[in-house]
Amino acid sequence: MSVLIFVELSDGAIKKSCLEAIFYGSKTAKQLKTSAIAIVLGEMGQSELTSLGNFGADKVVNVADGRLNQENIIAYSNVLGQVIEKEEAKVIIFAKSSLGDAVAARLGGKFNASIVANAVELPDTSAGFKVKRSIYTGKAFAFTELTSAIKIILIKKNAVVIEESSSNATVEQFSASLTDQDFAVKHIQSHKSTGGISLPEADLVVSAGRGMKGPENWGMVEDLANALGAATACSKPVSDLDWRPHHEHVGQTGIKVSPNLYIACGISGAIQHLAGVNSSKVIVVINKDPEAPFFKAADYGIVGDVFDILPRLTKAVLADK
């Protein structure tokens, strides 16, 4: 048996959330007295593959097939299925993401596997196999027992704190059998904003709402984000109004984030907004209305005008460097 971890790439680089998944998988493997195998689909440099040992992978399986460089839900799940069989994997770990969800789900169908999403802690394997997961968009947790032979876990960001070691993983190539069926969904083109920090992956997030008055004022949000090395996010009305792109919208109906720091500027803190950000470690709220509900969910608050406060914070961050 083994524990298998799916490693997702973004623009050819390994995603940080997947390093967390590898560490989570290696800890789980230790509990089960077995080995942790990371799987990387598509072409990737040897040294990067070997370095996954630093995060706990005992072995890395790579399928260096150029056709897999482009993300593909169907092909990825079929290849993973072949590796799961070969390695007799019993626990499969994914970092939660739109690709991870979609691939994990198909594997669930293939192997009659229990799936739990949004795991926030390592599994409890003392008796059976239990996972604590976040439910109701962060409003509660459920201790869920998985009873199928193969178990699939999608972990939420910050489910574990990585402890890096220095060890090299052995790297093995796997040649997967792929058919035309795997490429039946045709990729036409991708539209991606280049540069910037990926929001779901970010440790620091600067987010802004309707209090910014208009898209022309986002410069000061970006300035603070750049100074901190943070990603930018927004409330739903802001993306509905097209002030910002849809993929920046956080909340109940948007991206769920759990960064170390979430700074909310001119956002009232509606319950649907909080649902997407309430598992952030530290929340800072800047709002001119002292009664804004967001202050109740905050760790630090400033009652003030964003147009005055934001540039001053940026200056303070830069002065401190």
Ligand X SMILES: Cc1cc2nc3c(=O)[nH]c(=O)nc-3n(C[C@H](O)[C@H](O)[C@H](O)COP(=O)(O)OP(=O)(O)OC[C@H]3O[C@@H](n4cnc5c(N)ncnc54)[C@H](O)[C@@H]3O)c2cc1C
Q: Which residue's CB is nearer to other proteins, number 62 or number 77?
A: 77
**36 dihedral zone (left: phi>0; alpha: psi -120 to 50; beta):** beta
Q: Which residue's CB is nearer to other proteins, number 86 or number 315?
A: 315
Residue 268 touches which of ligand X, other proteins, none (Cβ within 5-8 Å per kind): ligand X
142 binds other proteins (CB under 8 A): yes
In the complex, what is the shortest distance from the CB of residue 214 to other proteins, in angstroms, rounded to a whole number? 21
Are 23 and 160 a contacting pair, CB within 8 Å? Answer: yes
147 binds other proteins (CB under 8 A): yes
Q: Which residue's CB is nearer to ligand X, number 149 or number 271?
A: 271
CA distances from 106 to 39, 74, 98, 136, 321 (A): 17, 8, 13, 23, 47
Q: Which residue's CB is nearer to ligand X, number 289 or number 299?
A: 289
Among the listed residues 266, 284, 297, 301, the single contact to ligand X using CB under 6 A: 266
Q: Which residue's CB is nearer to ligand X, number 38 or number 208?
A: 208
CA distances from 217 to 18, 207, 298, 314 (A): 34, 13, 24, 15
In the complex, what is the shortest distance from the CB of residue 175 to other proteins, in angstroms, rounded to a whole number? 23
219 binds other proteins (CB under 8 A): no
Are 7 and 40 a contacting pair, CB within 8 Å? Answer: yes
State whether residue 148 is helix, strand or coil. coil
In the chain, the largest separation of any two C-alpha atoms, in whole Å, equals 61
Q: Which residue's CB is nearer to ligand X, number 9 or number 265?
A: 265
Are 102 and 95 a contacting pair, CB within 8 Å? Answer: no
Q: Which of 318, 314, 321, 277 is nearest to 299 (CA)?
A: 277
Q: Which stretch binds other proteins (CB under 8 A): 37-45, 170-178, 209-217, 243-251?
A: 243-251
54 binds ligand X (CB under 6 A): no
144 binds other proteins (CB under 8 A): yes
Distance between CA 204 and CA 310 in Å, rounded? 16
Among the listed residues 100, 123, 200, 211, the single contact to ligand X using CB under 6 A: 211
In the complex, what is the shortest distance from the CB of residue 99 to other proteins, in angstroms, rounded to a whole number? 7
Residue environment code for 14-45, b if the CB has 16+ CB neighbours within 10 A, otherwise e: bbbbbbbbbbbbbbbbebbebbbbbbbbbebe
Among the listed residues 27, 210, 218, 317, the single contact to ligand X using CB under 6 A: 210
251 binds ligand X (CB under 6 A): yes
21 binds other proteins (CB under 8 A): no
Number of residues in contact with ligand X under rule CB under 6 A: 25
Are 238 and 222 a contacting pair, CB within 8 Å? Answer: no
In the complex, what is the shortest distance from the CB of residue 217 to ligand X, in angstroms, rounded to a whole number? 9
